[in-house]
Amino acid sequence: MKIQFLGAAGEVTGSRHSVEAIVGGRDIRFMVDFGMFQGGREATAKNLEPLPFPPKAIDFVILTHAHIDHSGLLPRLCAQGFVGPIYCTEATFELLKILLPDSAHLQRSDVERAVRRQKAGKWRGDLPVALYSMEEAELALAQCEVLSYGKHLELCKGVELEFQNAGHILGSAIAVIDIAEDESKVKRCVFSGDIGMKGKLLMPDPALISQADVVVIESTYGDRLHKTLAETESELIDVVTNTMNAHGNIVIPAFAVGRTQEILFLLIDLVKRNLLPHLSIWVDSPMATAATHLTQHFFSQLDKESQSTFEWFKNNPSAVDLRFIADVEESKALNKIKGGAIIISASGMCDAGRIVHHLQNNLPRAQNAIVITGFQAYGSLGRRLVDKATKVRLFGEEVQVRASIHTIGGLSAHADQAGLLDWLRGFRSAPKSVFVVHGEPEASAVLAQAIREELEWKNVVIPERLHSYSC
């Protein structure tokens, strides 16, 4: 059996791993994840790079979860000739129906904007390329087949798949794949996907797997420990209490899928525990609204504490005034509210979407607060705010930053180093090979070393992109 790492090797994005084996005398090849590379020109080049084998040669794809860096190039793969099934959980499929068409839409808008700027003489260099169209995103969705957690499915003769809950986002799965290379010997490969933080809001703890021959593990935060949830809560209580007392607004930029629901849950839970007073919350992002409805739909997949908090809110609907904004007019009407509102909107890094309007409106007033809850990439507007810019340009206008800017850590969707090691301790004996992927070089190296030292596992490899490894 061979694994070739086509992405998320030495970096966080672009997860896609090819597995080749001879099963029952037949060559098979499948992919685990088929994600988009994100961030900068290099990512664009990698997204356009042809595969080292024809897409037609892939028998099937196993998808761990819906995040674009794991799923985002599936439409391109299908458009290039892959016709097999894409296996994922039901919640992942529902999220893909939101995320893939949105990704196609964003790409098209980027191209259109660049063309307009080029015509106006304001664009230098190459124009961006749309990786796929809306129709191609729909085609990929038609190839999805859902599999519930804990159920076994024979994908072809000699290959069996089981999904276990990874506790990362709604629908996220650890893929447990049994491959019978010969009748007497079955090799078990476990792909962690992205592993959630133990005790994280909304999601249950990641499932432990007791045995594997090969483990492929993520390492996003392989070199650090997160703040505790208690610290995060007290930071949030301080900001909300102080801002509400000063009659200001709070603007929270948040990714529509996952982070928005976590913040909502956290705020409602703090009201339930009498740690915050009655709140007025507006969620202003159509995608966040859709993702929040999905979270309610998959209620039984949430952890027990979150279920009881949602039940409480259902019985005490007046405790929090929660409104989902549907149209642009309603969104604009929020500009009139000068105090007492909590506005959650996307994009998470403040670069696009309705959040920019809310920032334009709320940044100039000192009694307002902006609460940053997620990673802000270098060069993004969110990063400039975190870096204490005193003025920013929004829609071509200079805006003074007088509102206070707060960064609340501790809401990570990924396990930290201790969480990753804990998950690995679930294996009763050392796997024959461990591959550390999905991390910046430093994070992967530190985690690999911790696995060697603390678990005393020997064969720990940080794979190089495009290299194949026999195992």
Residues that bind Zn ion (CB under 5 A): 67, 194
- Closest distance between Zn ion and the C-beta of residue 168, in Å? 6
Amino acid sitting at position 301: Q
- Closest distance between Zn ion and the C-beta of residue 133, in Å? 24
Q: Is the dihedral of CA 357, 127, 12, 288 positive or negative?
A: positive
- Closest distance between Zn ion and the C-beta of residue 220, in Å? 8
* Sequential DSSP letters for 217-262: EE-TBTT--PPPHHHHHHHHHHHHHHHHHTT--EEEE--TTTHHHH
- Closest distance between Zn ion and the C-beta of residue 103, in Å? 14
Which is nearer to Zn ion, 217 or 240 (by Cβ)? 217
- Closest distance between Zn ion and the C-beta of residue 367, in Å? 36
Which is nearer to Zn ion, 191 or 310 (by Cβ)? 191
Contact present, 54 and 81 (Cβ < 8 Å): yes
The half-sphere exposure of 88 on its side-chain side, counting CA atoms within 13 A, is 31
Q: Specify the residue for token string 């409106």.
A: 361
CA–CA distance, 253 with 355 (Å, rounded to integer): 6
CA–CA distance, 454 with 435 (Å, rounded to integer): 16
Which is nearer to Zn ion, 11 or 194 (by Cβ)? 194
Which is nearer to Zn ion, 168 or 358 (by Cβ)? 168
Which is nearer to Zn ion, 167 or 248 (by Cβ)? 167
CA–CA distance, 407 with 412 (Å, rounded to integer): 13
CA–CA distance, 348 with 194 (Å, rounded to integer): 19
Query: Quick check: helix, strand or coil at residue 294?
Result: helix
- Closest distance between Zn ion and the C-beta of residue 435, in Å? 18
> 125 to each of 28, 108, 109, 114, how far by Cα in Å?
42, 18, 18, 10
- Closest distance between Zn ion and the C-beta of residue 215, in Å? 18
Which is nearer to Zn ion, 66 or 434 (by Cβ)? 66
Which is nearer to Zn ion, 35 or 463 (by Cβ)? 35
